[in-house]
Chain A
Amino acid sequence: MGFELPKEKYGGRIKEVVIGATKEQGGTRSRSIVAGGSNGLAFHKFESESPNGPVVVMDVVDTVRMVPERLLESMGSALNDPVEWAKKCETEWGADACVLKLQSANPEEEDRPAEELAATTKKVLESVGLPLLVYGCGFEEKDAKVIEAVSNAAKGERLFLGLAEEKAYKSIAAASMANGHGVVAFSNLDINLAKQMNILLLDFGMKPENIIMDPLMAALGMGLDYSYSNIERLRLGALSGDPMLQMPMICDCSCAWDVPEAVEENPEHGEAELRGIHWEMLTAYAAAVAGADMVIMRHPKSVKLFRDAIADISGGV
């Protein structure tokens, strides 16, 4: 009789979302990138197609307060300046896009004014051709101002602005719609909340092709199990035909560098930075295997390992 591979066909497909705009598209990016588009489970090439592999977005933080010392040493002084950092991502580290995290807006820390951060964003845009995502600092009132200023300063660039949360999405959504940008919709490890977030944004007037969703990636050892299953469920929900779940997913895996076990000195667990590199790589790889369309990563060596892993599982040849 012969063994037949049991294949699954799904009715749904993840939407394709374009990030960044080239000159022809009304912006100044040297290229735009597409996320999503798959009609099957991640890397299930034998039964589905994924026209766009996972997109690697590299971290650019505008204040290194959050970056472990060791990384500053090994990744170089470029990390002290978001413009230089972004350039490295583009020219040396092989990023598809960057996410500019405007942490210095934090009103309890540096509290830099919105205009200054808009200027930073503009400078980054002038210095690199990569598509850009821009995140605020997580303080609702401040972010409303910051994101609005950033949006105005980058009209037509098709930035993706974040993070839009359930209780504070209107200002970000409005800022996006005003200047042709997209939005990153954040939800907290829960399929219903993720769906709710998308519904809220659509009701507010956003178009589905301008939304990507961040379902919260918990790092390896810090709740990765919850995220892994949540991402799988989101993906299955989208494939089974729920249009409110068919936005591409982005997972921020740079959180691996906040895990004490990943970075602490502990010779029993090997050399710390290399362990951290694997920690971030495995976090991102788990996200991708579960169904993430985009990952945010920080260390160039983790990115390299991740790229190799994706090539191996995408079965290029």
Chain B
Amino acid sequence: MPTAMEIYKLLPKTNCGECKLPTCLAFAMQLANQKVSLDACPHVSPEAKAALEESGSPPIKSVSFGSGEFVVEIGDETQLFRHDKTFYHPTVLGLIADDAEGLEGMKAKMDAARAAEFERVGQIMRVNSVALRHSTGNPDEFVEAVKAAAAKDRPVVIMCEDASVAAKAVESCADKRPLLYRATPANLDQMVELAKGRSLPLVLGGASSLDELSQMADKAKKAGLADIVLEPAAGSSAETLENLTAIRRAAVKNRFRPFGYPTMMVLGSSEADRTRAALGVMKYSSVVLMEELPREFLYPLLALRQNIFTDPQVPIQVKAGLYAVGEPDEKSPVLFTTNFSLTYFTVRADIQKSKLPAWLLVVDTEGQSVMTAFAAGKLTPESVAKVIEDEKLKEKNVRGEIIIPGMVSRMSGKLNELTGLKVTVGPRESSGLPKMMKSLSG
């Protein structure tokens, strides 16, 4: 939002009072604090209005594609470094199906993309999108594939630089809001027309320089296209880093409007491409499309994306309380851990591996791991005793025992004193739990 002074300069300065405020300056101050709406002044000029809307809008436009449950939102970032606040919209990862592979080949790729979904620390991580690319294949088959992909749930990217084929593909699924790829300096006008006609987001790429890319964006915007995605040249990681950094800085620091859009990278299937995908996740690429995503690489890449896009101020956490693992009864063992998601899900999975039912008591440590919380004084015998009390553990369970993480063996004595429960020190790593629990029951 602009400051009161910036707004004041754009007002008529007649102090006519029709906005129900005594002066234009008073109005400007209220507007800067978002207490009034610009519409309250009937005299503001259209140019001033446009300028104010522009400067009040976010540095990078939010763009969405796809529809329904799996719709993705990209852009709307405000930072160069995640520690300054956070990165908001995780890089959208998509798998490319090329029509050189034929219809069946493309369908197999679509299925592979949809199957690539994992749960990690309580969140779903997935390949978000399917990209259909028209290269050397039959255009009809390509359109057919786009239609088939759009009929399913994942957002679709239509990759085709031939405007007439692209138009047919768009025709088959415009209501599913596909992302259209791409306008180049050679076909800019036709592609912009096509995207605009259907209000679809369009990728601009193929420019020989960032300057040219910015001119394309400017032109597309003036032609009335609202949703733009920028694809700068990305021959090597060095070039990728330079271009994506330039775009992000220009948008966020200099408010350079032609670059106030999300970005994108299209990669192949080599080892180098995998590295570039990781770079894109860390350094400002809103969409990364790849030809291949072997599982051994995909899972760590998704974990990297999850890490980079976690809000630095708020660790991923679960609610404190008493959780059942399996179907425990009043005699089943009770264990405690912290409410940091990573800790909770790791421990829970290890208990499940024992195939024995148990109660897992989750202590609120503000989302910190066992050792971090212990070192910071957020996991104490007192805090554990309090949850035991609050959850009425002794009424629900008659075993009279609690298993504690091996790393906090030092709290055993005090915890026993406070609760009267027998305190059993478990292994340091929860991976040792199956063995321990089997010996308890056996």
Contact = CB atoms under 8 A, between A and B. Distances in A.
Contacts, number: 133
Given A260-B346, A315-B239, A286 B282 contact: yes
A270 B296 contact: yes
Contacts of B250: 3, 6
Contact of B236 (A8, A260, A261, A315): A315
A313 to B, nearest CB: 4
B83 A233 contact: yes
Residue among A221, A233, A314 facing the most chain B CB atoms (10 A cut-off): A221
A309 interface: yes
A308 B272 contact: yes
A285 B253 contact: no
Contact of A221 (B258, B275, B282, B307): B307
Interface centre among B210, B275, B310 (most CB of A within 10 A): B275
A6 B246 contact: yes
B294 interface: yes
B308 A228 contact: yes
Interface string B330-360: 0000000000001000100000000000000
A185 interface: no
A313 B279 contact: yes
B300 interface: yes
B265 to A, nearest CB: 13
A208 B296 CA distance: 42
Contacts of A279: 300
B283 interface: yes
Q: For the side of the interface on A, what is the size category?
A: 35 or more
A225 B296 contact: no
B249 A6 contact: yes
B214 interface: yes
A225 B310 contact: yes
Nearest to A191: B83
Interface stretch (A9-17, A21-29, A39-47): A39-47
A138 B312 CA distance: 29
B275 A228 contact: no
B303 A220 contact: yes
A77 B11 CA distance: 79
B236 A312 contact: yes
Interface string B252-273: 0110101000000000000110
Contacts of B308: 225, 228
A275 interface: yes
A3 B304 contact: no
A90 to B, nearest CB: 24
A285 B278 contact: yes
Contacts of B278: 282, 285-286
Contacts of A277: 296
Interface string B262-306: 000000000110111011001100000000001111111101101
A313 B82 contact: no
A137 interface: no
A3 B307 CA distance: 33
B81 interface: yes
B83 A229 contact: yes
A313 B300 contact: no
A195 to B, nearest CB: 16
B373 interface: no
5 contacts: A6-B254, A233-B81, A285-B275, A308-B275, A312-B237
Given A220-B303, A236-B81, A260-B346, 14 more contacts: A43-B241, A224-B304, A268-B118, A268-B295, A270-B297, A271-B296, A275-B295, A279-B300, A282-B300, A285-B279, A309-B237, A312-B272, A313-B279, A314-B238
